[in-house]
């Protein structure tokens, strides 16, 4: 269980995290969602004691990170997958981490097996693809068999196969009863990965709810309308209720019956009148009013193949 209360962080004049309170429960994957610069990494660093809050606090199982007796046995984190000595093998890297944290050496082979790196464990980590580096980072996070796991943007730059692997792995960790907190700015990915969402924008909490609730709340009463007389229909709708789409408008605040009746009583022909099932993207934009571009990242990131190390 992670509990943040009034968590605030100033960097000089920049208010990176602003009075943030949220809970992350065990046995589930909780997504930490927000556009670039929203304060996700700063929050994760404060959870891990790598940064001190200006005010407020965050605890893991009721204790601040600095109060934990065996931090690696309580919380594991993947912050930067490339943080590894390039000439060290994966096995040597993990053995060094285990030794410096009083973790038995046999655990190294266990975590290599869990993340599927046993066959390349003797190769230099510097030659690993991004996907393999992510697996190594996850193996390191699992070394102390912690109850709580944090992942900062774990699918960034991964190919579809790597993304799928991470997604399934997070579900597995949650099914084992662990607390899994994963940050991302990729909304589509979080919709598939997380059952709960903590959503922030500009350092502030926007919402904490299940993913389903988040989408349902924001996407109610959105109706797609196509018509050869759109301008006339628009003039009859409440101000700011319609936004343009490629081939029509998206109306919020009115249900399809009302729009249909309005069109009929004014002799307006409709080619489409369809209530929209909400996507996470729509939900986010409606709730935050932000116009950040979101995408799954699958197309542009497919070039990073999960190749074996040289």
Ligand X SMILES: Nc1ncnc2c1ncn2[C@@H]1O[C@H](COP(=O)(O)OP(=O)(O)OP(=O)(O)O)[C@@H](O)[C@H]1O
Binding site for ligand X (CB under 6 A): 11, 14, 16, 34, 36-42, 185
Minimum CB separation of residue 220 from ligand X in Å reads 28
Beta strands in the chain (DSSP E): 2-11, 14-24, 28-33, 55-60, 75-78, 148-152, 179-184, 196-201, 204-210, 222-226, 242-244, 249-252, 272-275
Minimum CB separation of residue 38 from ligand X in Å reads 4
- CB within 8 A of 168, min separation 6: which ones? none
Minimum CB separation of residue 290 from ligand X in Å reads 12
Residue 41 or 179: the one with the smaller Cβ distance to ligand X is 41
* The two three-digit tokens of residue 129, written as one number: 């693809």
Residue 144 or 154: the one with the smaller Cβ distance to ligand X is 154
Minimum CB separation of residue 107 from ligand X in Å reads 30
Residue 34 or 157: the one with the smaller Cβ distance to ligand X is 34
Residue 91 or 185: the one with the smaller Cβ distance to ligand X is 185
Residue 50 or 105: the one with the smaller Cβ distance to ligand X is 50
Residue 38 or 225: the one with the smaller Cβ distance to ligand X is 38
Distance CA 56, CA 185 (A): 25
Minimum CB separation of residue 203 from ligand X in Å reads 7
Distance CA 58, CA 157 (A): 29
Distance CA 7, CA 29 (A): 21
Distance CA 91, CA 74 (A): 22
Minimum CB separation of residue 45 from ligand X in Å reads 8
Query: Concatenated DSSP letters for 147-188?
Result: SEEEEESTTTT--HHHHHHHHHHHHHHHHTT-EEEEEES-HH
Minimum CB separation of residue 179 from ligand X in Å reads 20
Output DSSP code: residue 41: H
Among 198, 193, 159, 175, CA closest to 33: 198
Residue 14 or 55: the one with the smaller Cβ distance to ligand X is 14
């Amino acid at each position: 269980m992670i509990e943040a209360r009034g968590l605030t962080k100033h960097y000089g004049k920049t208010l990176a995290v602003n009075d943030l309170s949220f809970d992350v429960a065990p046995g589930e994957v909780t997504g930490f969602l927000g556009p670039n610069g929203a304060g996700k990494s700063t929050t994760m660093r404060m959870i891990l004691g790598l940064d001190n809050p200006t005010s407020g606090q965050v605890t893991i199982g009721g204790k601040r990170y600095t109060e934990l007796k065996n931090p690696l046995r309580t919380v594991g984190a993947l912050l930067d997958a490339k943080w590894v000595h390039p000439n060290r093998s994966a096995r040597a890297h993990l053995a060094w981490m285990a030794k410096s944290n009083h973790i038995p050496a046999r655990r190294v082979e266990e975590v290599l097996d869990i993340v599927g790196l046993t066959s390349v464990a003797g190769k230099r980590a510097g030659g690993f693809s991004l996907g393999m580096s992510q697996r190594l980072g996850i193996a390191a996070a699992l070394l102390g068999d912690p109850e709580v796991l944090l992942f900062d943007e774990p699918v960034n730059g991964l190919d579809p196969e790597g993304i799928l692997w991470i997604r399934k792995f997070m579900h597995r960790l949650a099914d084992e009863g662990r607390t899994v907190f994963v940050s991302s700015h990729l909304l589509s990915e979080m919709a598939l990965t997380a059952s709960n969402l903590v959503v922030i924008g500009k350092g502030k909490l926007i919402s904490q709810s299940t993913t389903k609730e988040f989408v349902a709340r924001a996407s109610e009463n959105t109706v797609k309308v196509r018509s050869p007389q759109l301008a006339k229909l628009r003039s009859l709708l409440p101000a700011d209720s319609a936004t343009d789409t490629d081939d029509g408008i998206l109306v919020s605040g009115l249900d399809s019956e009302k729009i249909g009746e309005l069109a009929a009583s004014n002799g307006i022909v409709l080619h489409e009148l369809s209530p929209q099932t909400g996507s996470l993207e729509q939900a986010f934009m409606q709730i935050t009013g932000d116009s950040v571009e979101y995408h799954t990242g699958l197309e542009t990131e497919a070039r990073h193949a999960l190749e074996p190390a040289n």
